[in-house]
Amino acid sequence: MKWFIKTLVILSIVPLQSVVLEKLQIGGIKPDLALVWVFFQGWYFGALNGLYWGMALGSILDLFSVGTLGIGLITKSLVGTAAGLFGKSFLHLSLPLHVLIFILVSVVHDLSGNIFLHGFDRISIQSGLTEALARAVYNSLFGIGFILVARSNPSNRGEGIYGGTIFPS
């Protein structure tokens, strides 16, 4: 049953991100739900799980995008792995600090994708930074939602790789 739910999540991210979140654009910026999900999976379940989710969602999004293949796979895999590796170190931090960390991760994700596509072009990086900051703030709102939902569900306590450390009683 777990594989069915994971497959359903993977296959529903693309339409959600492409169709539903298209309607939630603010100033031409739409959130990256796949990035939020990969970050949360790495943070909650560990680096290996974050890597797998990053590879799966990154490659699916690459297949359905008109951009260069492999950019989403690389960047989302790195985000999931990093969230899993560093997640345990940041568990004791408050929600606002988690938001700041997520904003930083989101900006680095977008800028690294921009650098992969355009190289170290100064104008491209400057224009990409503005869009990356706006998207990072927007992504963090969805990230907060994931964290609050996970915290509010008492049945989740102790399920993650770090056990009760994430959501102490």
Residue 164 lies in a domain: no
Residue 54 lies in a domain: yes
Predicted pLDDT at 38? 92
Residue 105 lies in a domain: yes
Residue 1 lies in a domain: no
Residue 27 lies in a domain: yes
Range of the domain at 147: 17-151
pTM greater than the 0.85 cutoff: no
Q: Name residues of the chain where pLDDT drops below 70.
A: 1, 67, 88, 90-93, 118, 123-124, 150-151, 153-169
Q: What is the DSSP letter of 153?
A: -
Helix axes 47-64, 2-15, angle to 10 degrees: 40
Residue 9 lies in a domain: no
Predicted pLDDT at 168? 44
Residue 161 lies in a domain: no
Count of structural domains, the chain: 1
Percent of the chain with pLDDT over 90: 11
Find out whether 8 and 57 touch, Cβ atoms under 8 Å: no
Residue 159 lies in a domain: no
Predicted pLDDT at 64? 80
Predicted pLDDT at 164? 40
Which H, E and C letters describe 39-79, residue by residue? HHHHHHHCHHHHHHHHHHHHHHHHHHCCCCCCHHHHHHHHH
